[in-house]
Amino acid sequence: MPNRRECLALLASAGLAPVLGRAAWAQAWPARPIRIVVPFPAGGSADVSARLIGDALRDALGQGTVVENKLGAGGNLAATDAARSAPDGYTLFVGTNGTQTINGSLYRRSGFDPVKDFTPIGLVWESPNLVVVNKDLPVGSVAELVAYAKARPDALSFGSSGIGSPTHLAAELFKAQTGAPMTHVPYRGQAPAVTDLLSGQLQVMFPLVPDILVHLQSGAVKALAIAAPARSEILPAVPTMAEAGAQGVVASAWIGLFAPAGLEAPIRARLERELAQILGKPGFVQRLRELGVAVQPVFGDAFVEKMNSERAHWAKLIGDLGVKID
């Protein structure tokens, strides 16, 4: 019988040794802590989600996780960092619909390719945009808002977290579908825009549910409709845009887990399996619900198809607006 060295020599001559070497390496993963890159500041719903996922992966995989918040350029800096990392399973990226479906059309140079540079693991949650108004604005429905805007073309300003952000694009989609004239006021982030909405400096916003939930609950702002195909389980009393008469206004933001392109298939399969188990845990689902987001697991081809569809949708709107960021 041939000994081990002779067997390896035979395998090498057949070109199989590299394959077995990669398989053994994948089986040994993880052997050190995993870095999770997040394109948002600490404390927000995406960051909290990443840390909860990191804690669960630590328990499941027996290795620590380190969340790294890397801000700037609408998520492009974090995405570029992750895309250029080794595809060894030790760097994960919390991608968003911004980094994965919008920024490629919006930025002249993003620094990465959202399709070629990443291995998608799975969608974590999705949160629809709302149309909300200051509590003192004398409108109580989308129809009244549109009528008010058309009667006073220079009266209404809407705030966003920046040019080309999901909150800006949702508003532009609303304007295109309803014909309501409103002036865009871009901010550096969502928080200062919300502050000005509360004070009355702004009259309208199209935020995500978690960004405005506490103020809706306090009565400081009014939600007129939600830009989703169906009502939200978190805000069941708020009608959809279609129910409110604004047909075709569907917009949301989401986060998903990604790895650099070239990730070994066994590691990808393990990550998908672990993420699916995490997203199915009642405690995890409830914690995110308290933040204002609903867990919505999507994996494999369905996740890829979702991103491709959204990429085409937003590319058209951005092209129609003529918006580009250097």
Domain ranges in the chain?
A: 33-127+253-321, 130-226
The tokens describing 45, both together, are 């719903």
Return mean pLDDT, the chain.
91
Of 1-10, 28-37, 177-186, the least confident: 1-10
Side-chain half-sphere of 45: how many Cα atoms within 13 Å? Answer: 26
Contact, 253 vs 98, CB < 8 A?
Answer: yes
Of 217, 215, 242, which Cα lies nearest the Cα of 227?
A: 242
- The yes-or-no verdict on residue 110 having pLDDT over 60 is yes
Contact, 13 vs 19, CB < 8 A?
Answer: no
Asked whether this chain's domains 33-127+253-321 and 130-226 adopt the same fold, the reply is yes
- The yes-or-no verdict on residue 220 having pLDDT over 70 is yes
Share of the chain above pLDDT 90, in %: 82
Q: Would you state the pLDDT for residue 6?
A: 54
The tokens describing 277, both together, are 């188990």
Q: Chain centroid to CA 159: how far? A: 20
Q: Chain centroid to CA 284: how far? A: 18
Of 71, 79, 67, which Cα lies nearest the Cα of 41?
A: 71
Task: Give 188's pLDDT tier (boundaries 50, 70, 90).
Answer: confident
Q: Would you state the pLDDT for residue 102?
A: 95
Contact, 45 vs 291, CB < 8 A?
Answer: yes
Q: Would you state the pLDDT for residue 8?
A: 47
Q: Would you state the pLDDT for residue 2?
A: 53
Share of the chain above pLDDT 70, in %: 92
Question: Of 3.40.50.620, 3.40.190.150, 1.10.10.10, 2.40.50.100, which CATH number belongs to 33-127+253-321?
Answer: 3.40.190.150
Span 33-54, mean pLDDT?
93
What is the topology classification, in CATH, of domain 130-226?
D-Maltodextrin-Binding Protein; domain 2 (3.40.190)
Of 217, 263, 269, 255, which Cα lies nearest the Cα of 238?
A: 217
Of 220, 222, 229, 230, which Cα lies nearest the Cα of 198?
A: 220
- ω into 30 cis (within 30 of 0): yes
The values of phi and psi at residue 131, to 5°, are: -105, 120
Q: What residue type is assigned to position 117 of the chain?
A: D
